[in-house]
Amino acid sequence: MLDAGQITDKSADDVVTIADHQAEEMLMEGLARLNPGIAMVGEEAAHVDAAVLDGLSGPCWIIDPLDGTNNFAAGKPPFGILIALADGGITQSGWIFDCLTGRFCAAHAGSGAYIGGERITARPSGNAPPIAAISTIFMESAQREAVMQHIAPHYEMVDIPRCAAEQYPRLALGTNDVSIFERTLAWDHAAGALWLNEAGGKVARPDGSPYRVDEHGRTGLIGAASPALWDGLAARLKQMA
């Protein structure tokens, strides 16, 4: 467990730890050796200096050094590391590492999705109704109420892990069928969105447009284990609007 002095409130719903800062520094140093001169967009660096986000428009590494920090700070799983390589707002490669289990997910645009070197295909849970993990934490109260009134009755609602490094694999591995993300920061979604799309699932904005890492002011994202499941949830969201 971390000492109280090693955990700092980042916002009302978020914390940062000494591990976040140290891991980000180490990852940036290593990635800089791989691709000298490419912009580094780290979650913690961007929190200190918003100008870091300007790097998202060109070739860049996108780093979440400790995804699921709230879980980590509480001494419980899940938490992981997310790294993506993007260019012109489009993710080219993504990696998701589960720090506790060692599960390593990787994807390269147009080349499929992998876990531990084995190519995988996203599979729905087969549950009726479909299983939904919907993140309402960053929604306005009216939006949250609308989701619970108009969306929740059509799905089996389950808790979110508060960790994109866990949620995206759940959508591909038959654990969850659909998810809604309100906050869509690049370090949380660049790697996972590419990976799930490459696995045959679907991740896109509610209007169907693709996820771009340089749209850092935009909210709303749907992830699903299949295009059909995505379409079903998107249609219900459209009716709710």
The annotated binding site is made up of: 43, 64, 66-67, 188
Spatial separation of the C-alpha atoms in residues 210 and 218, rounded to whole Å: 12
Inter-residue contact 176 to 132 (CB < 8 Å): yes
Q: Which helix (H) or strand (E) holds 236?
A: helix 227-240
Instruction: Name the one residue in this structure whose structure tokens are 């180490």.
Output: 26
Binding residues for Mg(2+): 43, 64, 66-67, 188
Upstream peptide bond of 153 is cis (omega within 30 degrees of 0): no
Residue 140 phi, psi dihedral angles, 5° rounding: -70, 155
Give every strand in the sheet of 156-157, ordered side by side.
156-157, 131-134, 178-183, 219-224, 202-204
Spatial separation of the C-alpha atoms in residues 239 and 101, rounded to whole Å: 40
Nearest to 191 by CA among 168, 173, 209: 168
Spatial separation of the C-alpha atoms in residues 190 and 50, rounded to whole Å: 18
Please tell me whether residue 23 adopts helix, strand or coil conformation. Answer: helix
Spatial separation of the C-alpha atoms in residues 175 and 153, rounded to whole Å: 19
Partners of 63 in beta bridges: 42, 83
